[in-house]
Amino acid sequence: MEASKQHAVVASTGLQVDIHPLVVMNISDQYTRAKVERNGRETSIVGALFGRNSGRSVEVCNSFDLKVDQVDGMPFVDVEFLELRDGQYKQVFKNLEIVGWYCVGSTPPSQREASLLSQLSKYNENPILLKFNSMARESKQAMLVYESVVDLEDGGPTIQFRAIGSNIAAEEAERICVDHVARLQDRADNGDSKAIGPLSTQRSAVRMLQERVLLLLEYVKEVQAGNLEADKDILRSISSLCNLLPVMNSAPLIDTSREQSHDVMLTTYLATLTKSFSAMSETVRKFRQAEERPAIGRKTRAGMCNVVGDSNV
pLDDT in tens, 135-178: 777 766 778 888 877 776 666 677 778 888 888 887 777 777 77
Nearest to residue 117, comparing CAs of 75, 87, 88, 84?
Answer: 75
C-alpha distances out from residue 306 to 73, 228, 282, 300, 311, Å: 76, 112, 36, 10, 9
Q: Which of 148-157, 264-273, 279-288 has the lowest mean pLDDT?
A: 148-157
The Cβ of residue 83 has, within 10 Å, a number of other Cβ atoms equal to 11
Cα–Cα–Cα angle for 23, 24, 28, nearest 5°?
A: 120
This prediction has a pTM of 0.53
Q: To which H or E segment does residue 176 belong?
A: helix 172-189
Which residues sit opposite 158 in a β-bridge? 151
Rounded mean pLDDT, 1-18:
57
The Cβ of residue 148 has, within 10 Å, a number of other Cβ atoms equal to 25
| Measured distance between the N- and C-terminal CA atoms of the chain, rounded to whole angstroms | 86
The residue among 134 and 164 whose pLDDT is bigger is 164
Q: Is 238 exposed, middle or buried (0-12, 13-18, 19+ CB in 10 A)?
A: middle
Please give the pLDDT value at position 191. Answer: 53
Please give the pLDDT value at position 190. Answer: 58
Please give the pLDDT value at position 89. Answer: 86
For 232-252, the pLDDT digits (tens) are 888 888 888 887 776 556 777
